Amino acid sequence: MKRRVVITGTGAIGPNGHNVSEIWDKVANGISGIGPLTLLDPTPFTSKIAGEVRGLDFTQYFTKRDRSRLDRYAQFILVAYQEAATQAGWNTSPPTPQRTGVYVGSAAGGIGSLDQNHEKFLQGDYRHISSTLVPMAIANIAAGEIAVRYGHTGPNFSPLSACATGNHSIGLGFRGIQHGEADAMVVGAGDALIVNSMMAGFDRMQALSTRNDDPTLASRPFDRDRDGFVLSEGAGVLLLEELEQAKNLGRTILGEVVGFGMTADGYHITSPAPGGEMAAKAITDALAEASIDPSAVSYINAHGTSTQANDKTETKVIRRALGQAAEKVAISSTKSTTGHLLGAAGALEAILCIKAMLAGFIPPTINLQNPDPECDLDFTPQVGRHANLEYVVSNSFGFGGHNAVVILRQYPA
């Protein structure tokens, strides 16, 4: 019999706040975290807006030495981990080290450190290239840092699947506990990709919104006038534990992971498959594992990137997966307020789903002023609403055709 897996801690950082409560308050109230691009010189770019983490004092968390040898993305993840561990009581009553694993990923790791050091190389400043550049740049170092700092010596792995990374981390950690590979798992993802190379790459793809005159209106999933996503940064970390262990250790249980589905489109490196067959299968596989009918789903946190292709395809995906139940389910895209955290998006959105269940509140899709006729489901425009949420679905679809879907249940069910 598969073991039950519950969530006992969450931590997050993003453009809307430096912890879960701050971010949830802004998302629930429809307050955007998008603003002018300040981390980079915006001059070369068509898009001059971003979801930056502003005002975070890293000196509160890290020594000068640590700050010099940890990429910004890894620092985000470690800050989020500390919040989650404090909430769960892992600092005072830690799980067994050998039975605690870490599945924390990133879409592109420390590419900011790579950019900075490459610039030094081009300028001939070889002596000042960091001797720790390689560990700063690789995408698995945050998972390694957590294990080293906190002694979690169970399974350790870093999923990397573009915008589906966060959900893959949660789902694979869920599987690890289900099947007895571990009793506790640190899962999630972080990214800090507001750097010249990534900004230029997405800009050249014409994937980013250019609504520069009013950044807070730029991310507008499912709206007829959407013109691209907004690049954001941050991290989300969840602590998963086997149910009986969590109860024996007196943990406060925030929710339960009950279903996971992952597929590949096998269609195109950046565009979703037009019919959405395999993305829909990821949802139906997750529903089957959760042993629920589509009509049981109370809320879907959509991938909802605010791009033309994603939003109309995701509408088809939800219809294909849920059938008639798609007409009644409440859906929203919290990327309308947070922007797109890329690999970290699914992790943050799972945390927002947990907060939604605990609060009994569906967060809105802000800026949905002129619904696209091809996006004709209930996307909770502009204002959130109260509802009892027993089962929630979180969708993540990444470049390369990676699809990952997680289903969470209110606890106690």
Closest CA to 321 of 300, 337, 342, 347: 300
Distance CA 344, CA 348 (A): 6
The string of DSSP codes covering 218-235 is T--TTBTT---B-BB-EE
| Given the residues 18, 152, 303, 402, the one annotated as active site | 303
Specify the pairing of strand 330-332 against strand 402-409. unpaired
413 by Cβ neighbours in 10 Å (0-12 / 13-18 / 19+) ranks as exposed
Whether 118 is catalytic is no
Per the annotation, the verdict on 128 as an active-site residue is no
Structure token digits, residue 266: 């096998």
Q: Is 163 a catalytic residue?
A: yes
Q: What are the tokens at 318?
A: 């939800």
Which candidate in 152, 340, 353, 402 is catalytic? Answer: 340
Question: What is each CA distance from 324 to 127, 131, 328, 369, 380, in whole angstroms?
Answer: 64, 58, 8, 25, 18
Nearest to 241 by CA among 286, 287, 190, 176: 176
Beta bridge mates, 262: 404
Question: DSSP strand E in 192-275: where?
Answer: 234-242, 255-264
Element of type H or E holding 10: strand 5-13
Identified catalytic residue from 163, 168, 375, 402: 163
Examine residue 215 and say whether the peptide bond preceding it is cis (omega within 30 degrees of 0).
Answer: no
Task: For residue 252, give Cα distances in angstroms to 6, 84, 236, 413.
Answer: 10, 12, 19, 15
Please give the positions annotated as active site.
163, 303, 340
